[in-house]
């Protein structure tokens, strides 16, 4: 009988217009009934659904005829009451599934469900950085390895033994380029790391010579220097595909960085990136928006490398 009484209280609480619903839930909490968490979760989901309905109603009101009898304040009042009860009924009948997630998260009774309190980082930025760095490295390895297959006149191979060697070798050239552009040198090295997988996938010509192309700059019709044709991954509407493209080849890393500076500063579309260069995040985002790369996560990958423990340790 006590269980039936509590259930009746919960059913009353689902009536959004019942003024005693809050007291009913308080009594259920006081009695130690575990069903109160389920009811609270459904109530929360009902509020969420109600907010969505309210937003949709506002969009509809913007297009409504002001002279229509269905657009009066009285009609809107009763319509809002109906929407509130509708949201409550929808949430109690399964709804969007939000209530179930809340119950699993807070109840912690499902052995197969890991609560957020266990997996959250608690502000452990070093752990987050390592996770981002690993994800970027793994994604880059997969893409670069795929792009290096099936090439004829050129291929991608390692130009550096370690990421630390990559940073140390590139650092003086990046600092020189950064001073010219007014850009954070760490952002430049981070971009090169994304483009080449920390120097593990640098384009080499058919004779086995490194092209020193660390920024994925293609050889368009304006380019009069050496070039190498290799497979690359391009994104169209977020979908990756393998394509052949010609890339610029340089005799040295210094020449590559000089051309990188010239490439960005000579094209109006990269003006926003250059002017915001001191802010690494804005620089990376502006490069992506200007179409530097087709990868929709290009800026995010650059910043993941930028904030990585490896980059912070070598370039504080």
* Residues involved in catalysis: 234, 259
Helix (H/G/I), strand (E/B), else coil: 72: coil
Q: CA-to-CA distance for 41 and 161, rounded, in angstroms? A: 54
Length of the chain: 316
> What is the CB neighbour count within 10 angstroms for residue 104?
16
Instruction: Give 29's contacts (C-beta < 8 A, 6+ positions apart).
Output: 36
Residue ranges in the chain assigned as alpha helix (H): 2-13, 21-30, 35-62, 73-92, 98-107, 116-119, 125-147, 163-181, 185-196, 253-265, 271-275, 280-289, 298-306, 309-314
Residue 7, beta-bridge partner list: none
Locate 190 and state its tokens. 């981070």
Instruction: Please name which of 298, 289, 88, 267 lies closest in space to residue 190, comparing C-alpha atoms.
Output: 298
Phi/psi at 11 (nearest 5 deg)? -65, -35
Instruction: Please name which of 253, 272, 291 lies closest in space to residue 167, comparing C-alpha atoms.
Output: 253
DSSP assigned state of 270: G
Kindly state the greatest CA–CA separation across the chain. Answer: 89
């Amino acid at each position: 009988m006590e269980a039936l009484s509590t259930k009746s209280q919960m059913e009353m609480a689902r009536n959004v217009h019942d003024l005693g619903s809050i007291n009913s839930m308080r009594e259920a909490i006081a009695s130690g009934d575990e069903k109160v968490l389920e009811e609270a979760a459904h109530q929360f989901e009902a509020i969420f659904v109600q907010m969505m309905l309210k937003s949709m109603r506002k969009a509809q009101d913007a297009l409504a005829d002001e002279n229509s009898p269905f657009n009066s304040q009285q009609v809107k009042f009763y319509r809002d009451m109906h929407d509130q009860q509708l949201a409550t009924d929808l949430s109690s009948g399964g709804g969007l599934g939000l209530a179930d997630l809340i119950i699993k998260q807070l109840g912690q009774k499902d052995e197969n469900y890991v609560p957020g309190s266990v997996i959250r980082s608690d502000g452990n930025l070093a752990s987050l950085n390592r996770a981002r760095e690993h994800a970027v490295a793994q994604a880059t390895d997969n893409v670069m390895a795929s792009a290096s297959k099936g090439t004829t006149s050129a291929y991608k191979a390692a130009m550096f033994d370690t990421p630390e060697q990559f940073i140390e070798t590139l650092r003086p050239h990046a600092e020189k380029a950064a001073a010219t552009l007014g850009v954070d040198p760490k952002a430049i090295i981070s971009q090169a790391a994304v483009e080449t997988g920390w120097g593990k996938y640098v384009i080499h010509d058919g004779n086995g010579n490194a092209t020193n192309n660390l920024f994925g700059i293609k050889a368009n019709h304006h380019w009069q220097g050496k070039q190498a044709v290799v497979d690359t991954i391009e994104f169209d509407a977020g979908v990756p595909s393998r394509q052949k493209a010609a890339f610029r080849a340089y005799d040295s890393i210094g020449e590559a960085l000089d051309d990188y500076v010239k490439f960005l500063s000579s094209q109006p579309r990269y003006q926003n990136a250059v002017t915001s260069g001191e802010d690494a995040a804005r620089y990376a985002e502006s490069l992506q928006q200007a179409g530097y790369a087709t990868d929709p996560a290009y800026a995010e990958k650059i910043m993941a490398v930028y904030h990585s423990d490896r980059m912070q340790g070598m370039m504080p």
